[in-house]
Amino acid sequence: QDKYGEEAVSGIVTFGTFAARSAVRDIVRVNDMPYSIGDRIAKAIPLKPGMTIKNALEENPELKQMYETEDETKRILDLAMKIEGLPRHSSKHACGVVISDGPVFEHLPEFMAGSGKNKKERTSQVTMTEVEELGLLKMDFLGLKTMTVIGKTIESINKNTGANIEYLDIPHNDPYVYKYISKGQSHGVFQLESSGMRSLMGELFFDIDDRIKKIEKKYKKKGFKDIEKNKESETYLKEMEKLGQEMFERLIAGISLYRPGPMDYLPNYLEGMKNPKNIRYLTPELKPILEATYGTIVYQEQVMQIVQSLAGYSLGRADLVRRAMGKKKNEIMREEKDYFINGKLNEDGSIDVPGCVRNGISKKIAEEIWEQMADFSKYAFNKSHKLCGIIW
């Protein structure tokens, strides 16, 4: 706001929707029923990401019996299913910001978000998807206290020891760092401090100790950053850097997969990592794209590479597919699936998208690849997004 002007910068609205449990509790509340009734029904709904009341009735026999034998429970659940998924409340998006060359209200409606003692802030009345469709610039700015902690830590070390540590000089490919992480020594480290994550790190870097020892024994040397730089140690350092880079790639993938949804793919990733000879690629063209993640689609960028390499998509159209998959735009997905498999012609008969079949990949294999991409990309992260979060 200081740079572009207060009226040229606006937050973005986000709408919270009724999830299965909250829908039940709100139906009970607005009907002045006892809290205990809603709590009993809500707790019978499995606590899983994306869980719906319909799926809960199929998964939990106890809830199904309550629904079929208790009139009050049936009425509550029937009403809850009608509002499930509808907007419940609005708030300001945690990091989305619109920046315009003039007052934002000249392009879209705004309101002042915030309640009580909280500072009220200019906020768009349309979501981030609509902001982009209107052609406005949407930026994501995520505040991270960890940055301040790291900065003050380095400042304190330099002040008290006389050292001159520069943050950007700390190597990301030091294999000894991953050795410590593999032993669970990551308390207080951003994204790596929970017990579940520390356990995963032990699995991800299961072979780091042995591989470091093997290189040390081969060259009769130890260390990484502080080792004397000469011709004799050059090859040793290259091997250590290569090992460290491989571990860094594992770290990015591990953090990307350790979330509800993608977590289901962790066993496949770990199995491929530990037994690379067992990895099966549906077509040879997938190997250079998925080899770094042991045969598993982990990132949105891999989806883009697949449609480019196998079906001949342009980079722009590949990004369209990435967005459609991530936002679950089913109509676009149906169109693009056909183009991915069979290709697309321009009005004059020239080829716009060659498609897999025209590129020598069978229709059956192409369909299987598409389904794998569509299934995972619902949860897939931008690799660049995760990479920046880890480095900083």
What are the DSSP calls for 285-326, one per residue?
A: GGHHHHGGGTT---BHHHHHHHHHHHH---HHHHHHHHHHHH
CB 60 within 8 A of CB 45: yes
Q: Specify whether the backbone of 50 is left (phi greater than 0), alpha (psi in -120 to 50) or beta.
A: left
Are 119 and 8 contained in the same domain?
yes
CB atoms within 10 A of CB 345: 13
Are 283 and 369 contained in the same domain?
yes
Are 12 and 125 contained in the same domain?
yes
Domain count, the chain: 3
Q: 25: which 2 tokens?
A: 């509790």
Q: How do residues 331-359 score in pLDDT, each as one tens digit?
A: 888 999 999 999 999 999 999 999 999 99
Q: How do residues 131-185 score in pLDDT, each as one tens digit?
A: 988 999 999 887 778 888 889 999 999 999 999 988 888 889 999 999 999 999 9
Pick from 4-8, 277-281, 382-386: least confident: 382-386
* Section 282-302 average pLDDT: 94
Model confidence at 228, pLDDT cuts 50, 70, 90, reads low
- Is 84 within the bounds of a domain? yes
Are 287 and 245 contained in the same domain?
no
Q: How do residues 20-49 score in pLDDT, each as one tens digit?
A: 999 999 999 999 999 999 999 999 999 887
Are 191 and 124 contained in the same domain?
no
Q: How do residues 73-124 score in pLDDT, each as one tens digit?
A: 999 999 999 999 999 999 899 889 999 999 999 999 999 987 767 678 899 9
- Is 40 within the bounds of a domain? no
Are 288 and 359 contained in the same domain?
yes
CB 324 within 8 A of CB 336: yes
Residue 360 carries which side chain, given as an amino acid letter? Answer: G
pLDDT of residue 389: 66
- Is 310 within the bounds of a domain? yes
Are 227 and 96 contained in the same domain?
no
Are 253 and 342 contained in the same domain?
no
Are 244 and 320 contained in the same domain?
no
Model confidence at 392, pLDDT cuts 50, 70, 90, reads low
CA 92 – CA 145 distance, rounded (Å): 20
- Is 88 within the bounds of a domain? yes
Average pLDDT, the chain: 91
- Is 349 within the bounds of a domain? yes
Are 73 and 8 contained in the same domain?
yes
By CB atoms closer than 10 A (0-12, 13-18, 19+), residue 281 is: middle
CB 14 within 8 A of CB 95: no
Are 239 and 286 contained in the same domain?
no
Answer with the one of 94, 120, 143 that is the final residue of a domain: 143
- Is 269 within the bounds of a domain? no
- Is 174 within the bounds of a domain? no
Are 367 and 283 contained in the same domain?
yes
- Is 48 within the bounds of a domain? no
pLDDT of residue 375: 82
Q: Which domain holds residue 327?
A: 279-391
CB atoms within 10 A of CB 70: 14
Q: Please enumerate in sequence order all residues whose Cβ is within 8 A of that of 83, keeping only pairs 6 or more positions apart, or say none.
A: 18, 23, 26, 27
CA 319 – CA 27 distance, rounded (Å): 41
CA 200 – CA 193 distance, rounded (Å): 11
* pLDDT of residue 196 exceeding 70: yes
Answer with the one of 119, 143, 167 that is the final residue of a domain: 143
Share of the chain above pLDDT 70, in %: 96
Answer with the one of 95, 120, 143 that is the final residue of a domain: 143
